[in-house]
Structure 1
Amino acid sequence: MKRDACNKIIGAFLVFAGIGVSEVTFANDNTQISSQIFTNFSNLQVRDMRSDREGWQLDLKRFYLNLDHQFSADWTLKLTTDVQWQRQQDPTDVWFRHAYLEHRVNKQQTLKLGVAELPWIDYIARRVGYRYIDPSLNPKNQFAGPTDLGVHYSMNTDNFTVAAAAISGGGFKKPRIGERVDFELMGVWHVLPGLDVATGWYEGTRTLDKDENPRFHYAQRWNLALSYLLNNTRLGVEYAYNDNWTRVNQLAPDASDGWSVWASYGFKPGYSAFVRYDVSHPSRRLNPELKQDYFQLGVDWKATRFVTVALVAKKTEIDSLIIDQQQHEIGLWTMWNF
């Protein structure tokens, strides 16, 4: 199994490398090949449990390979492959995290066709930062996915940003078309330089009613965030509420919610300190006592133009009437850009 997965990965890289060489040679620098790698070497301990995942181990959290081709000043093609290899697991298949055509309508408006970034997750990821350590509140808790197949529109002005997406709802790992179109909307008010107030909304079936599966509910998500990002300082808080996010084809309704607060400061060139705290309730109706706390603390160093290294400590605690579990992790996280 591992050998087959590795062969898939190597094959994909050879294909893309071949495309990259030919395009760069004959397209007058209109094509760029780049990659980004997230790894960590960390010690994981779970209280009162024994697991093969514990101890010092290496994780390949993400391996992105990007191809950007510019047809003209207004039209661009973007492809991004995505691979994971977590501890004690086989490598994932090669996913297409991005596969879209982008049309620059004018200086303020952009249209993307294909598997592209969803408005809310992309915006919050850039405000929180440190994606190579962990994703933000929504994707980390499976409240939302980062990209999806569809039509994506955005408009940016000095005072406001608005974005809308009409998508399949199936996500990028197994793109598929459902019985209806899902919608996501986002609006951001740039109150002052660096200070944003943002809100987002999602509604659809997430393809969970495909084929013979019944539809009892619509999946909905509401987001709200207040954040500050200027120079070397980040501050912010985000709230998310999901209604029937995984219960579209299940008779009993359920809901989940959570909030996240984060801060970071660049205390000298190339160095920054960061902290984050999340609280989530995965099942507000069916298991209201279930609660998950997540704490992150670290310092990172931009060692070179290509490599960033972070010393990070994490703690996750899950509580309910029958569960009391704690997980501690400490180690080195790295981001490589080529």
Structure 2
Amino acid sequence: MTHQENLTRLIAALETSADVRASVSDAPGSAVFTGSGDSLSSALLAQAYGHRAMSSGDITFMGRLPVGVETVVGISHSGTSGATVQALRLARSAGARTIAITSNSDSPLAEAADEVQVVPSLHVEEAVPVAGHLMLGLGVAAVCGADVDGATSALASRLRDLTSLVEETVEGLPAEAPVSISLLSLPDLRGAADFWMLKLIEATGLAVRSVPLEESGHVDYFLGPQPHLAVQLLGAYSRFRFDRLAAALEHTGQTVQQVAFPQQAGEAGIDAVLTELGGAVVGTVVAEAAAGRWGRPPFRGGAVNMDAAHIKLDAQAIS
């Protein structure tokens, strides 16, 4: 299946999906949104509403909540991610309000929560997954108090508008795989960059990192001499800084690829979330296309053990 077909199928699934229906009584105050892997990328979207986001392992394995947190929102599509379940249990025992965002209302995560925001599952075949992140992201917006009515069709419309950007980005990929990749972004596309990182790792098996734009200027300048790819995710802000850094990185022999998203300055709330989710889809489709171009099948061609036993907690059975 081609990357164009994958994008078309995902758009069709969104167009026929039920909307996320807000089911949490009140928007949380002083909240931390937490998850692992793809779900941590979903948690990052809460920053558009002024909340914090952190890995569920940072809560579970430190054994304490961040200072000042009144609400912990655990995110897991299956509701069975061990560290996230344990983080909600820890939060509940500490007297914090707990909310779960999941597609599985009968899951251990839902059982650990005072309230549950259920999200629909998109029924679409995927080699490199993104559909779960999209619905969880809309669930995050709902918990934050956004009006998500019609958001799935609005997201489908945005993805249709991004089709040409996908093609331009795929065509601009290097012919040969780099040794490593950096994703450069400002906060408006930080969640998208984080998701790109995950999908490029899954799809290509390369070392990839997401880094704030200015920090790349302080560190990536020294990378090499092995071939390194710097992908810049541009929104409505500071194009001059992206361009200046691109010139500097190219001067050191790196390959720089700019991906410019249509965005209005000052986007907030659900509009900001839709931009980030659209960016995540572009990254996923491009990552799978890169794997094909570079001869690096996703998940190392099936060589990676995908039973996920290492993210379940032996001390507390999760099923």
Return the structure number with greater strand share. Answer: 1
Q: Specify the TM-score bucket, using the shorter chain as the normaliser.
A: under 0.3
Return the structure number with greater helix share. Answer: 2
TM (normalized to structure 1)?
0.24
